[in-house]
Structure 1
Amino acid sequence: MQENHSATQTGTPNKLADFPIRTLILSMGMPMVLSMVLQAVYNIVDTVFVSHMKNGATAVLALTDSYSIQLLIVAVGVGTGIGINALLSKTLGERNSEKAACIAGNGIFLAICIYAVFLLFGIFGTKPFIAMQANGNALRQEMGEQYLRICCMGSFGSIGYTVYERFLQGTGRTNLSTIAQITGAALNILLDPLFIFGLDMGVVGAAVATVVGQVASLVMAMLFHYRWDREIRQDWKRIRPRWGLIRGIYAIGIPAAVMQGLLSVMVLFVNLVFGTQGDLAEPLQAAYGIYYKIQQFALFAAFGLSNTLITVVAFHYGRREKARLRQCVRYGLLYAAGLMLIVTVLFQLFAALISGLFQSDGSREVQQLCMRSMRICTLGYVFMGITVLIQGILQGFRCVFSPLLLALLRLLVLPIPFCLLFLMYERGAELVWWAFPLAECITAVVSVPILLRTFRKKTMPSA
């Protein structure tokens, strides 16, 4: 008897093959959106609590100085995870269980290697990196070094969770990865006030709470994977590196990591540019650091939906199902635009309330700048959601250059010249925030024809 095309080797119906696309994207995407949004919780919660410390304004600046490296850790982990996810989903779609198991094993190997790099940076690289941004402020530099060193040395939790999350996502179990992420985020929220104020650990306590939460998420994800991911056979021997598979992972993973890493570059560059603005330097830097962490709720929500599309598109691309691929594009764009519109409305309505969460000495000016940034920058969120979703579809089709091009446009090529241009004017501190929605709008316009051309090419019979 012929095997049912949508059944796994255990006889269980395959969610990716059987569910209607509109339901599939929602059922997989909403847990993934929540999971990604909770990644933003770690940094935003730390910043809220340290802003209430003595010398809270300096502490916020110290965390802002550290943020680009934290983004880089996430970028490399997520980029690697996306490569694993795309290759794993395509392989499962092709029903090659042996290769799928080897992909998972090599993902674990790569996670170990990535952690080793950031461990070394945590030991040797934090001092010069923070000094570059601290503008001679000794307390700011000390706090920044302490916070970043702990986050780097404990980054195995974040990196490891990202990889195991992709295993769960690749088999359609995004609900389990979300439970793991919620566990870590909730623990971080509980531990922050205890460590920062109760034990009087300051920024050190914030960093320790973050690391403990990330490790808790990793442990939960590992338990779920080894208990329920029956589509991927468990064998530690498969951790042995296979360079062909690693090349396949990073064919998608490197562009994805670079795209995520460009966030880190932009945050660092804008922080340095704002540092040249004289008396406005520290208020601008603090406001930007706070706003960008707030913005991560929207951006990471878009990434969650985009990452879901990588899985769904890669799976159906492996099965050559053009009709379902067309539905992936249609419903994905619709959901992304709708989600970002909801976020935009909420941020516009509650900009003052959100900005008011951050209380510190001299915080009034910072809060006003932060509120202004939210009012202006959120106008580009729908365009941002469309671009990020299209990047995910392109990655699902195993495209390399086009999603990277879009990331370069929205994060470096467009916003940085706009920032420099607006800061030349007398009211530069007010105008500079328009650089970001303008970049999002232009990039979204460019991304649509790229998507249409790629879809036609990839769904041709000979593709």
Structure 2
Amino acid sequence: MQRDLTQGSITGTMLRFALPMILGNLLQQFYNIADTLIVGRYLGANALAAVGAAYALMSFLTSILLGLCMGSGAVFSLRYGEKNEKVLKKSIFVSFVMIAAVALAVNGVVFLFIDPIMGLLCVPAEIYSMMREYLWMIFWGIIAVFLYNFFASLLRSVGNSFVPLLFLGIAAVLNVVLDLVFVLVLHWGVAGAAGATVIAQYVSGIGIAVYTYVKMPEFRVAGSDMGMDRDVLREISQFSVLTCAQQSVMNFGILMVQGLVNSFGTVVMAAFAAAVKIDSFAYMPVQDFGNAFSTFIAQNYGAGKKDRIRAGIKSAVMVSVAFCIVISLVVWIFAEKLMLIFVQPQETGILAVGVQYLRIEGAFYCGIGCLFLLYGLYRAVRKPGMSVVLTVISLGTRVALAYVLSAIPAIGVAGIWAAVPIGWVLADLVGFLYYGKVRREM
């Protein structure tokens, strides 16, 4: 199932590799979509607000692990493109040990400091206990998130995007079934929704780890590969830490925005919780296409095929922009109907705020589509620091403008939504300008 991305038609190769990744991450969204849908419909607006606010915190925490795995995956792709199996195995060992240690540390910290963290998020008193109950359960899944993302990144780095999709599909179905049982049959409330997600995460994480060990003997690490090679550690650290910083900055900015949203009360919190799920679902395909594009570029960069890289960049931009135009129209036109998936028709206040959010953000998906391509490009050509710079520009603008604009009475909460596309556009401009320098180097 491995795919050599240095051969074959460029657009077709990228799309065939990207499609399972897109389907996989759409399925991954079902972890939180299922919670939001069932909680919103059957446990009420306060429960929806609690789960939505918890999602922002979990996204930040898991982004640390996701960034480390993505950075390591870029190194794996480079080594695979070079056909350097010995260094590839050493890289696998070093990155696994390093990321596992981080995962254990993160898990310990969040359990110890759960209450101070919730205090920083300005969680309203009426949902505090509910959100704490949900978080306490969901935190048990952090190790499972590490396992799945590490082995998924390893398999994708060598062109196998189907197996990660398979395990996510199994987990997504299991999550929905357990959600219905725990919430509707056993009446375990938000803790039941969290428990369903955690069980599903461990099924996918352990499952893909066992599959990789049994079915991919070429990745089994022998005793001679288990040293902490200084050069390998330096390279893994450079890519992983910078990609982790990029993902963490991105989600920390979102977490700060979540704190601002919380200050507007439970109606806005509930609307934001539902609208963010729709928003994430809408642009998830271009995010995953950006990750597939990054693997394509990394393999060809390792193989020294620079003409193929330039042609791949042009093809990827055209595909991404075309998709974003279509999805923007869909979200703009069907914003209210999409909100009604999560919210009861009588919740008119929540519906109005959610529709406003979707129509402001949905008009500018081309901005985020191009930004994901820029992230992937700079990570693949050994410039992961530039991805961090673009993220800081995008999220820094978003957070600063969100606080400034929302404080103006005539603008209010709409200022939080408007700050997002402005940040995307500014980061895109910087990324495209810097690309001129990179193109000359290639």
Question: What TM-score, normalized by structure 2, do the two folds share?
Answer: 0.93
Q: Which residue is equivalent to 1:60? A: 48
Q: Does 1:195 align with 2:189?
A: no
Is 2:293 the counterpart of 1:305?
A: no
Aligned to 2:301: 317
User: What SS does the aligned partner of 2:413 have?
Assistant: helix
* 2:269 counterpart of 1:285: yes
Superposed displacement of residue 107, structure 1 = 2.9
Report the CA distance between 1:178 and its aligned residue. 1.0
Residues 37, 263 of structure 1: alpha-carbon distance in 2 compared, 3 angstrom cutoff: farther
Letter in 1 for 2:10: I
Query: Using the alignment, how far apart are the partners of 2:267 and 2:407 within structure 1?
Result: 15
Specify whether residues 353 and 433 from structure 1 end up closer, same or farther in structure 2 by C-alpha distance, changes over 3 A only. Answer: same
Range that drifts further, 178-187 or 233-242: 233-242
Task: Determine if contact 1:57/1:360 at 8 Å carries over to the other structure.
Answer: no
2:347 paired with 1:380: no
1:455 corresponds in structure 2 to 439
**CA, structure 1 residues 160+333, in 2 after alignment: closer, same or farther (shift >3 Å)?**
same
Contact preservation (8 Å) 2:122, 2:263? no
Alignment of 1:27-426 (within 5 A): 27-54=16-43, 56-137=44-125, 139-235=126-222, 238=225, 241-277=228-264, 281-359=265-343, 363-426=347-410
Q: Greater CA deviation, 437-446 or 234-243?
A: 234-243
1:209 Cα offset (Å): 0.8
**1:26 CA displacement:** 0.7
> Secondary structure of 1:428's match?
coil
**Letter of the 2:34 counterpart:** V
User: Who is 1:24 aligned against?
Assistant: 13
CA distance in 1, matches of 2:129, 2:26: 29
CA contact (8 A) 2:71 2:242 kept: no
Report the CA distance shift for 1:237/1:370 in structure 2 as closer, same or farther (over 3 A). Answer: farther
Alpha-carbon shift at residue 265 of structure 1 (Å):
1.7
Give the match's secondary structure for 2:6.
helix
Shift of 1:121: 2.7
- Return the alpha-carbon distance in structure 2 between the equivalents of residues 364 and 99 of structure 1: 58
How far the C-alpha of 1:231 sits from its partner, in A, is 4.4
Larger mean CA deviation between 413-422 and 205-214 belongs to 413-422
TM-score (norm 1): 0.89
Give the letter for the 1:344 counterpart: S
- Give the percent of matched residue pairs that are identical in Structure 1 and Structure 2: 21
Cα distance between partner residues in 2 of 1:393 and 1:98:
26
Q: Distance in 2 between matches of 1:349 and 1:185?
A: 28
**Aligned-pair distance for 1:230?**
4.8
* Deviation larger for 139-148 or 359-368: 359-368
Tell me if the contact between 1:97 and 1:233 (Cα under 8 Å) persists in the aligned partners.
Answer: no
The structure-2 alpha-carbon separation of the partners of 1:69 and 1:246, relative to structure 1 and needing over 3 Å to count, comes to farther
Structure 2 gaps of 5+ residues are none
Structure 2 residue identity aligned to 1:387 = L
Deviation at residue 174 of structure 1 after TM alignment: 0.3
* Root mean square deviation of aligned Cα: 2.3
Amino acid at match of 2:323: L
Q: How many residues matched?
A: 442
